[in-house]
Structure 1
Amino acid sequence: MGDRITNYQLVVMIILFQIGSTPLFALGSSAKQDSWLAMLAAAMAGFLLLLMFLAIQRRAPDQNLLGLFRLSFGKIGGSCLGVVFAIYFAYESMRNVRDFGEISNLTLLSTTPKYITMFIILLLASYAILMGVDTLFRVTETLLPLVTLSYGFLILLICIAGLIQFDNVLPILENGLTPVLKAAFPDIVSFPFGQMVIFFMIWHMLPDKQKVKKLSLVAYTIVALFLVAMNILNVTILGTTLVANSTLPFLEIVQLIEVGDILERLDVLVTLLLFLGLFVKMTAFYWGSVYACAYLFPFWRKHTWVIIVGSLIFFTSFLEPNYSIHTWLGLKVVVKVYPLFQVIIPMVMFIVMLIRKTQVPQST
């Protein structure tokens, strides 16, 4: 497929994809005041994981994930793994669709059936995918300034309102490293840092393959530092108990903002950020699943796969009976399975490539 993206579009997609809705949740709360250290440890592990991903991609710079599988495991084995990853991408997208429906129902649209909002967001994602990669990445380009300014504005107001209490992150490592490591591995590594595996479907589309590593590492580092900072912000304002028991701690923080009896009740802005983050991540995984299916089964056009995959995402998003079970499965159960897709299979592929000394020359 002849899709191409620019250097800037790659950086923007990595930033928005990794941010997603992550800053709004209480990741690593089991480590209490050291949750930011758990986030930092997971980010460092994710950085090493990303280096491995980029080393694999460098061996065959013009191949997507499916092509890399076939080079490493043969046509049949690689195709079977491709099908498994197409399902994995669709599942990740489904989780974001359900999050979108539940949180919109919880915050803004309490009387609107969640299946309506979920159906609409899937239609928008489907339209973006049908319009092609160029359209999808142009959408993210337009969203980055909005997301950046919104987070910057909210953080500024939080500082002006005097909500930050740094005593809440003390003492550091009161219970040693064990709670930090337990919180970081595999949970935070799996979400969000391990999800960078989707970029195996994207890196080959960058015309200048020599810049893939530098651009990816710079964008990843920016996001990692931002997420650590947001984690610190949550704990310093709400404290460990409130953060651990809150569904959306950052939303609760913004509800505390009161500046001059004028700027308050900025929940809508947080909800907008949440929706934008969920949309980018959901669409990226949805696109990855469609792309994989169209690559593996070319006898059906991409339009057909958009309908098939989109329908599966929509209907399976209702299998979990309520949001509590959905959240529990996502943050406590499924994250233990994700390392199979994000660490183990890529590591095996890396080892196989080293043994076979796989090197596909870059096309000109």
Structure 2
Amino acid sequence: MPKKEQVSSLQIAFMIMLFEIGSTPLFLLGGKAKQDSWLAMCTGSAAGFILLLLLMWIQHRSLNTDLIGMLKFHFGKFAGSFIGGVYVLYFAYQSMRNVRDLGELTAITMLPRTPMFITMLVFVLLALYAIWKGAEVVFRLPEVLLPVMIFFYIVLVALLGIMGSIDFNRLAPVMDGGLMPIVKAALPDIVSFPFGQMIVFLMLWSLWEKPGVPVKYTVNAYLLISLFLIFMNALNVAVLGPTIAGISQLPFLKTVRTLSNLKFVERLDILVTIQLFLGLLIKMMLFYFCSVKAIAELTGKPAKWWVFPVGAVIYGASFLERDYTQHIAVGLGPSLKLDPLFQVAIPLLLAISILVRSGFRRSA
């Protein structure tokens, strides 16, 4: 019998942080709230935290079982397997979106003459290799990459402060339009992306070296990364202003380009691009890994049987959208509207089933 793969509390915390950063800096989330977009991020992260508590409770009541096992146990083998199969497609779809983001970002910033199908293939093959090696390799990557990313962000924010590019007066007036624009910008969009995507950890917490959930590490990682994302959102508005930040294709990249008059260092946008690559690669890899893990459990076949087929589907599907404009329109439109079904509705049904079953046990 093969040894069960296990990961540590710290590895899970680092993965949560890098996963949540992911492709988030590509966009000004909550842009509809204008200068209050950072408050929309606060609202979204608070709602996401309530969802995280629900997910951790579900995992705590389902020790050593991942999402697929929970679905089959609570909804029956047939219905549970069907919903599990839909989750396989959902995880693969989310991975595909990040593959396309990587390809488009590379074409925009670094390799405009290199065909996108080549760069996207390279990224998929990198993820494929790590997943083939197993969970322990996948979870080791954030331990190396997260400190590098944090260092780069600290350097860039420090330079923006030194050069006087940051003007927090651009965040005023606060709540000029009242509370409703903030709530509408946050719910459900910011909950769906990025905070609701914590649903993937119902596939991953069962890999922890102890039963249950590393609650302290998970909560601390979530709170830290929420504060970071709120600050970065406010920073983009403070440098660019709400109008320019809201319409920018890559707001943080545009923010860093305001440092172009520095004489002692050039091409700081390369640092931003590297940070985005790292976040997108980890996010794409984790969704890919969860899709493989889910289909392996549904079929009873080893995960390695599915690494190549799932990778091929993800790579092929990344060409379905005609161009980047359509890709963003789908991702921030219909895709976000469907996310609550997978991130909120089904976990709520699982929680209700757990409560009902525990009630029956008490009365028996």
Gaps of 5+ in 2: none
Map Cα deviations across residues 337-358 of structure 1 (whole Å, 9 max, x no partner). 1000000010111011101118
Q: Does 1:52 align with 2:54?
A: yes
Following superposition, the deviation at residue 149 of structure 1 comes to: 0.4
Following superposition, the deviation at residue 259 of structure 1 comes to: 6.6
Map Cα deviations across residues 40-79 of structure 1 (whole Å, 9 max, x no partner). 0000000000000011001012100111112211111111
Mapped partners of 2:266, 2:174: distance in 1: 32
Mapped partners of 1:285, 1:118: distance in 2: 16
- Please name the residue that 1:61 is paired with: 63
- Please name the residue that 2:225 is paired with: 223
Q: Secondary structure at the match of 1:173?
A: coil
Q: Select 2:174's aligned residue among 172, 175, 186.
A: 172
For 2:341, the aligned partner's letter is L
Q: Secondary structure at the match of 1:209?
A: coil
Asked if the contact 2:63–2:212 (Cα under 8 Å) also holds between the matched residues in 1, the reply is no
Moved over 4 A (4+): none
- Please name the residue that 2:308 is paired with: 307
Map Cα deviations across residues 274-328 of structure 1 (whole Å, 9 max, x no partner). 10000000000000000001111124x4223111111111111111000000001
Mapped partners of 2:296, 2:17: distance in 1: 27
Map Cα deviations across residues 230-288 of structure 1 (whole Å, 9 max, x no partner). 01001111001101110101000111115751124301100000100000000000000
Mapped partners of 1:249, 1:205: distance in 2: 36
Mapped partners of 1:247, 1:218: distance in 2: 31
- Please name the residue that 1:21 is paired with: 23
Measured at CA, do residues 295 and 156 of structure 1 come closer, stay the same or move farther in structure 2, by a change above 3 Å?
Answer: same
- Please name the residue that 1:333 is paired with: 334
Q: Does 1:92 align with 2:102?
A: no
Measured at CA, do residues 211 and 291 of structure 1 come closer, stay the same or move farther in structure 2, by a change above 3 Å?
Answer: closer
Aligned pairs (5 A) from 1:84-163: 84-163=86-165
Q: Secondary structure at the match of 1:256?
A: helix
Mapped partners of 1:35, 1:286: distance in 2: 31
Asked if the contact 1:254–1:265 (Cα under 8 Å) also holds between the matched residues in 2, the reply is no
Mapped partners of 2:26, 2:151: distance in 1: 16
Gaps of 5+ in 1: none
Measured at CA, do residues 350 and 253 of structure 1 come closer, stay the same or move farther in structure 2, by a change above 3 Å?
Answer: same
- Please name the residue that 1:246 is paired with: 248
Map Cα deviations across residues 91-117 of structure 1 (whole Å, 9 max, x no partner). 000000000001100100000000100
Asked if the contact 2:59–2:213 (Cα under 8 Å) also holds between the matched residues in 1, the reply is no
Following superposition, the deviation at residue 145 of structure 1 comes to: 1.1
Taking structure 1 as the reference length, the TM-score comes to: 0.96
Mapped partners of 2:95, 2:140: distance in 1: 20
Mapped partners of 2:212, 2:277: distance in 1: 34
For 2:318, the aligned partner's letter is S
Asked if the contact 1:125–1:283 (Cα under 8 Å) also holds between the matched residues in 2, the reply is yes
- Please name the residue that 2:353 is paired with: 352
- Please name the residue that 2:204 is paired with: 202
Mapped partners of 2:212, 2:353: distance in 1: 23
Mapped partners of 1:213, 1:348: distance in 2: 22
Mapped partners of 1:211, 1:334: distance in 2: 29
Mapped partners of 1:232, 1:148: distance in 2: 17
Mapped partners of 1:359, 1:260: distance in 2: 68
Map Cα deviations across residues 96-145 of structure 1 (whole Å, 9 max, x no partner). 00000011001000000001000000000000000011111111211011
Mapped partners of 1:204, 1:185: distance in 2: 29
Mapped partners of 2:253, 2:42: distance in 1: 22
- Please name the residue that 1:78 is paired with: 80
Taking structure 2 as the reference length, the TM-score comes to: 0.96
Q: Secondary structure at the match of 2:328?
A: helix
Q: Select 1:183's aligned residue among 174, 185, 198.
A: 185
Q: CA RMSD in A?
A: 1.5
Identity %: 47
